[in-house]
Structure 1
Amino acid sequence: MTDGSGRSVEITRLALGRYEAVNPRGGTLRFGSGGDSDEFSPVELLLTAIAGCTAADVDYITVKRAEPTTFRVQVRGDKVRDETGNRMEDLAVTIEIAFPEGEAGDAAREVLPSAVERSHDRLCTVSRTVERGTPVSVEVV
């Protein structure tokens, strides 16, 4: 992919069940099996990516009108283990955003529903990829 559309991270094992992801810009994120309170599990990272993508989309659209006074995005789902394998089902994003009183806050509140819709229907690469069910190939080298 030479058109700039490629994205990647590299994962390095630190210890049993503990890993570090490094992005091309040098940013790092440590994660693990979820056994420690200071680490996210891979499923929690998936949920974080869904919520984070939605949050960023909505934030960039609404903040042009007003700075939020409250901004929380939660995502939840159910982990299923059955004969077809493990997966997440019933993923749901809940957005709680408040804006100050006044003309700017009114403008932000007015655009909020369309910002959420645009994120879900077109902008959020993460949730749109999950919803489409994009295949993942795995290769051992």
Structure 2
Amino acid sequence: MKIHLKRLNENYHFETKNERGDVVHLDNKSEPNPQGASPMELLLMGIAGCSSIDIVMILKKQQLEMTNLEMDVEGFRVDGAIPNVFTRIHLKIIIDGDIPENKAKRAVDLSLEKYCSVAKMLEKTAEITTEVILNGSPVNK
């Protein structure tokens, strides 16, 4: 796996490209008009994407189809710490569809505890917590 990064302006706007040509823009979030996500935001996007792919895959293998999957991810850091790593990450997973509550919860747990490579890396510095909402109702832990 390889990524190429190129600086696009005199400040912090960068373009990254993978071997397939997919482009992601990065910037410093403290800039007045950032032109991309910050690297730390990309980490949160990474755990959201990685876990979502797992959840879809796990439920599809059980022949359970979702009508919707959304995720809100919030990262928490200690102000002023250097490096300023995430100490806690909370994922709110919103699933809609004809899916039993225990299957939805199990898919989320399997993703974060076993399959999601991003979560497995981030759990070394951050406590990862979840909240599952199925068809508008919270799923009991």
- Using the size of structure 1 for normalisation, the TM-score is 0.74
- Correspondent of 2:65 among 67, 89, 105: 67
The amino acid of 1:58's aligned partner reads I
> Structure 1, unaligned stretches of length 5 or more?
1-6, 100-104, 134-141
**Counterpart Cα distance in 2 of 1:83 and 1:56:** 32
Q: Alpha-carbon deviation of 1:84?
A: 4.5
> Is 2:111 the partner of 1:113?
no
> What does 1:11-22 align with in structure 2 at a 5 Å threshold?
11-15=5-9, 16-22=11-17
Contact 2:27–2:35, Cα closer than 8 Å, also in 1: no
**Counterpart Cα distance in 2 of 1:38 and 1:19:** 9
Report the 3-state secondary structure (helix = DSSP H, G, I; strand = E; otherwise coil) of the residue aligned with 2:78: strand
Match of 1:122 in 2: 114
**Counterpart Cα distance in 1 of 2:102 and 2:59:** 9
> Is 2:21 the partner of 1:26?
yes
Contact 2:28–2:34, Cα closer than 8 Å, also in 1: no
Report the 3-state secondary structure (helix = DSSP H, G, I; strand = E; otherwise coil) of the residue aligned with 1:120: helix
The amino acid of 2:72's aligned partner reads Q
Contact 1:54–1:116, Cα closer than 8 Å, also in 2: yes
How many corresponding residue pairs?
Answer: 121
Report the 3-state secondary structure (helix = DSSP H, G, I; strand = E; otherwise coil) of the residue aligned with 2:123: helix
Q: Alpha-carbon deviation of 1:112?
A: 1.8
Q: Alpha-carbon deviation of 1:51?
A: 0.8
Query: Identical aligned pairs, as a percentage?
Result: 27
> What does 1:29-40 align with in structure 2 at a 5 Å threshold?
29-34=24-29, 35=31, 36=33, 39-40=36-37
**Counterpart Cα distance in 2 of 1:42 and 1:120:** 21
Indicate the structure (1 or 2) with the bigger Cα radius of gyration. 1
